[in-house]
Amino acid sequence: MTTKNILVTGGMGFVGSYLVDELIQRGHRVRIFDNLDPQVHPNRKLPDYANPHAEFIQGDVRDYDTLKKALQDIEIIFHKAAAVGVGQSQYEIKKYVDVNTGGTANLLDILVNNNHNIEKLIVAASQTSYGEGLYTCADHGTQHPGLRPENQLKNAHWEHKCPRCKKGMPPAPIPEDAERLSYTIYAQTKTHQEDMVLNIGRAYKIPSVALRYFNIFGPRQSLSNPYTGVTAIFMSRLKNNKHPVIYEDGKQSRDFISVHDIVRANILAMEKSEGDYQAFNVGSGIGTSIEHIALTLSNILGSEHLVPDITGTYRQGDTRHSIADISRIKKTLGFKPSVSFQHGMEELVEWGRDREAIDGFAKAQDALQQRGLI
């Protein structure tokens, strides 16, 4: 690919910053648009990993005019800017809708009402759009259940049962054509982002791709943001000599994928036209229990004495299992995860050993409890 002028919204963030590094390494001219949200960047300070070869515009996607200026002369857009926090989205509703849905609306409105040279638009979507994962009943086949009833959770019956025969159902990978149930405000806004981008992309013939990220982990994930990924939250707890806190029984599982593999998926989506106007799962295709995450981190850190505090409580809107079916992205874009779970966790710990970690988990948990969400 020839040298392009590329805009990365949210380019100082976890995924965005690694993407910026890779794009610059490939010879592209990169402009970062980021508001340096203090929840991610304390005191709105530039992170020490900020790439000096990228142009930086400090701005918010909610600011139409500033975003419009950032889009001047751009050929490719990676839209990563978003408010991230499933639990927090349930009580900071306006913020999440304004940033995620409204910010994406601003971006698209600017494109369709002004001259531009956009050749590709890639948006960060989310596995949370699916709600629950898929499950397989030996007698009745694949099931995509809704949220578990509250009386079931109160009785600590964590696993889904087949609605027909009431037998247990193991989880199965979920494909892109599964129904999107979006049980939280965060999930709904990520669905909005994806749908708006693909809708406008098709209507105005702007090649567009939505990448539905599963659970990303790796260096540069904020260790001071209690609403970020579970690996960073656990890491922060352990570094502060505190036990990782786990809801339910710890056996719930998620699909964890290295940030480096996420960047590779973005590059493939940019360079290959075969993925245009489609949505793709980006995950490992493997489910890992939350308890295993905590134990792995404590072992690597040498903090085996800080065993997970498995509370037996539950959080409203939480799903039980979520695993990506990655056959579409493998076939269409040639994507294959390359970073193993163990290597990725070791890399995270090595990066985070000497980093400041402000443990805000208790405060975040209190906010949920006060609102009856735990």
Rounded Cα distance, 19 and 212, in Å: 16
Catalytic residue among 96, 130, 135, 186: 186
The shares of helix, strand and coil residues in the chain, as percent rounded to the nearest 5, are 40, 20, 45
Q: Give the torsion sign (CA, 60, 64, 68, 71).
A: positive
The SS3 of residue 190 is helix
- Active site includes 186? yes
Rounded Cα distance, 133 and 174, in Å: 6
Task: Write down how long the chain is.
Answer: 374
For residue 90, give the DSSP letter: G
Rounded Cα distance, 367 and 363, in Å: 6
Measured from the Cβ of residue 99, the count of other Cβ atoms closer than 10 Å reads: 21
Q: What is the DSSP string of 274-308?
A: GGTTEEEEES-S-EEEHHHHHHHHHHHHT-TTS--
Place of tokens 């397989």: 136
Tell me the CA distances in angstroms from 288 to 15, 137, 251, 281, 292, one per residue in order. Answer: 21, 20, 9, 17, 7
Measured from the Cβ of residue 322, the count of other Cβ atoms closer than 10 Å reads: 23
- The phi and psi torsions of 233 (rounded to 5 degrees) equal -65, -45
What are the tokens at 41? Answer: 């960047």
Helix axis angle, 103-112 to 185-204, nearest 10°:
10
Pairing of strands 76-79, 208-213: unpaired
Catalytic residue IDs: 186
